Structure 1
Amino acid sequence: MTSGTFSLDGQTFDVDNNVWIVGDDEQVVVIDAPHDVEAIAAAVGDRRLLAVVCTHAHDDHVRQAPALAARFSTDAHPVPVLLHPADREVWELTHEGVPTTDLANGEVVTVAGTDLHVLHTPGHTPGAVSLYAPELATVFTGDTLFAGGPGATGRSFSSFATIVDSIRDVLFELPPETRVHTGHGDDTTIGDESPHLQEWVDRGH
Structure 2
Amino acid sequence: MDAQPSGRAMVSRGTDTFCATDGRPATHLPVFDGSLPIMTEQPMVIEDSYTGHVSPGSAPQRRTVPGATITKMSVGPMDNNVYLVVCSATGKSVLIDAANEADRVNQLIGEHAPSLDLIVTTHQHGDHWLALEDVAAATRVDTAAHPLDADALPVRPDRLLDDGDTVTVGEVTLDVIHLAGHTPGSVALALTEAGGGRTHLFTGDSLFPGGVGKTADADKFASLLTDVETKLFDRYGDDTVVYPGHGDDTTLGAERPHLGEWRERGW
Do the structures match in fold with TM over 0.5?
Answer: yes
CA deviation after TM superposition for structure 1 residue 89, in Å:
4.2
State the 1:66 CA deviation: 2.4
Q: CA deviation at 1:88?
A: 2.6
TM (normalized to structure 2)?
0.65
Q: Which amino acid aligns with 1:50?
A: D
After superposition, what is the alpha-carbon deviation per residue over 1:14-60, rounded to whole angstroms, capped at 9, x for unaligned? 41101000014632110001111110111112512101011111101
Q: Corresponding residue for 1:99?
A: 156
Displacement, 1:90?
3.4
Say what the alpha-carbon RMSD is for the aligned residues.
Answer: 1.7
Instruction: Supply the AA of the counterpart residue of 1:84.
Output: H
Query: Which of structures 1 and 2 has the bigger CA Rg?
Result: 2
* C-alpha contact (below 8 Å) 1:29/1:52 kept by paired residues: yes
Aligned partner of residue 201 in structure 1, secondary structure: helix
CA offset digits 1:99-136 (Å, max 9, x no partner): 21211211111123111000111111110000001115
Which amino acid in 1 is paired with 2:94?
Answer: V
Q: 1:194 & 1:182 partners in 2: Cα distance?
A: 16
Distance 2:116 2:185 in 1: 23
Give the 5 Å matches for 1:16-165.
16-24=79-87, 26-46=91-111, 47-73=114-140, 79-91=141-153, 95=154, 98-100=155-157, 101-135=159-193, 137-154=199-216, 159-165=220-226
Give aligned-pair identity as a percent. Answer: 40
CA distance in 1, matches of 2:152, 2:259: 27
Check conservation: 2:146, 2:185, Cα contact below 8 A.
yes
Q: Select the structure that is richer in strand.
A: 1
Give the number of the structure whose residues are more often helix, by fraction.
Answer: 1
Query: d(CA) in 2 for partners of 1:58 and 1:162?
Result: 18
Aligned residues: 184
The offset of 1:154, in angstroms, is: 3.2
Q: Is the 8 A contact 1:28 1:44 kept in 2?
A: no
